[in-house]
């Protein structure tokens, strides 16, 4: 996850934990990997700043498989998104024109099982249809613990062969039975897992 902390870009797996990972160390590690790099931005300023750093000091990243993600809509139990969708697309296409785009909802955990509503999904579908370029790969970031309640409705987002689901969840919060349910679902061939 990437966010601004004062005048510094903060990088960490979970921003609730303290992280002293600086940009140079991050890019040195990323440069050596053959894995997909998912950059999960938490605010527009950090996207702009990291984009500037990529353009000026790390242009080699354009040869890597990169997914740029942000929460652009308010979802179940979530707060208002810090990104305005149109601005997110502008910033990504300016700073990371080579990257696949991933859109998500702000969410929170609850005692009762939550899922995405038909309104959540129709708003997301509108964004994808409006902003998606022809064969551009597009990911919809789905909270894994919401999948069971939302599976049928999520099918509607997979209208194109280049639209995929990207599941995410903290390893601590995700039950093994939910992970198995996702892996064995009939949507697994249109899914990417980040847990």
Strand runs labelled E in the chain: 2-5, 8-11, 37-41, 66-74, 100-106, 138-143, 163-168, 191-194
Residue 4, C-beta contacts closer than 8 angstroms, at least 6 positions apart:
10, 43, 45, 46, 49
Write out pLDDT tens, residues 125-182: 899 888 877 667 889 999 998 988 898 888 877 777 788 888 888 777 778 888 888 8
Q: What is the pLDDT of residue 88?
A: 95
Tell me the mean pLDDT in the region 21-37: 83
Please report, for the chain, the start and end positions of each structural domain, with discontinuous segments joined by +: 2-194
- Asked whether residue 2 carries a pLDDT value surpassing 70, the answer given is no
Cα(114)–Cα(116) distance, integer angstroms: 7
**173 contacts 146 by C-beta, under 8 angstroms:** no
> Cα(98)–Cα(80) distance, rounded to whole angstroms?
28
Pick the CATH number of 2-194 from 3.20.20, 3.90.550, 2.40.360, 3.30.450: 3.20.20
**pLDDT band per the 50, 70, 90 thresholds, residue 6:** low
Of the pLDDT bands very low, low, confident and very high (cuts 50, 70, 90), residue 20 is low
For 114, 151, 152, 173, 191, the CA distances from 158, given in Å and listed in that order, are 21, 11, 11, 26, 10
- Quick check: helix, strand or coil at residue 135? coil
So what's the pLDDT on residue 107? Answer: 93
Give the predicted TM-score (pTM) of the model.
Answer: 0.84
Query: How far is 36 from 32, CA to CA, in rounded Å?
Result: 12
Give residue 74's pLDDT. 96
What DSSP state is assigned to residue 114?
Answer: -
pLDDT at 142: 92
Average pLDDT over residues 16-36: 76
* Two structure tokens written together for 8: 């510094």
Instruction: Summarize pLDDT for 46-86 with one digit per residue, the tens.
Output: 899 888 888 888 888 888 889 999 999 999 999 999 999 99
In DSSP terms, which residues pair with 69 in a beta bridge? 40, 102
């Amino acid at each position: 996850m990437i966010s601004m902390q004062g005048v510094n870009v903060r990088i960490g797996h979970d921003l609730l934990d303290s992280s002293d990972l600086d940009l140079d160390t991050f890019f040195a590690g990323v440069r050596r990997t053959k894995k997909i790099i998912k950059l999960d931005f938490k605010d527009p300023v950090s996207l702009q700043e990291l984009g500037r750093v990529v353009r000026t000091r790390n242009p080699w990243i354009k040869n890597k498989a990169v997914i740029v993600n942000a929460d652009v809509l308010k979802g179940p139990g979530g707060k208002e998104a810090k990104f305005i969708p149109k601005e997110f697309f502008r910033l990504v296409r300016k700073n990371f024109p080579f990257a696949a785009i991933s859109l998500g909802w702000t969410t929170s955990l609850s005692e009762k099982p939550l899922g995405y509503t038909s309104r959540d999904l129709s708003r997301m579908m509108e964004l994808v249809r409006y902003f998606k370029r022809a064969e551009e790969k597009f990911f919809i970031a789905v909270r894994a613990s919401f999948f069971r309640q939302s599976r049928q409705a999520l099918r509607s987002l997979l209208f194109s062969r280049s639209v995929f689901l990207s599941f995410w969840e903290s390893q601590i919060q995700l039950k093994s039975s939910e992970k198995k349910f996702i892996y064995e679902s009939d949507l697994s061939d249109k899914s990417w897992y980040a847990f």
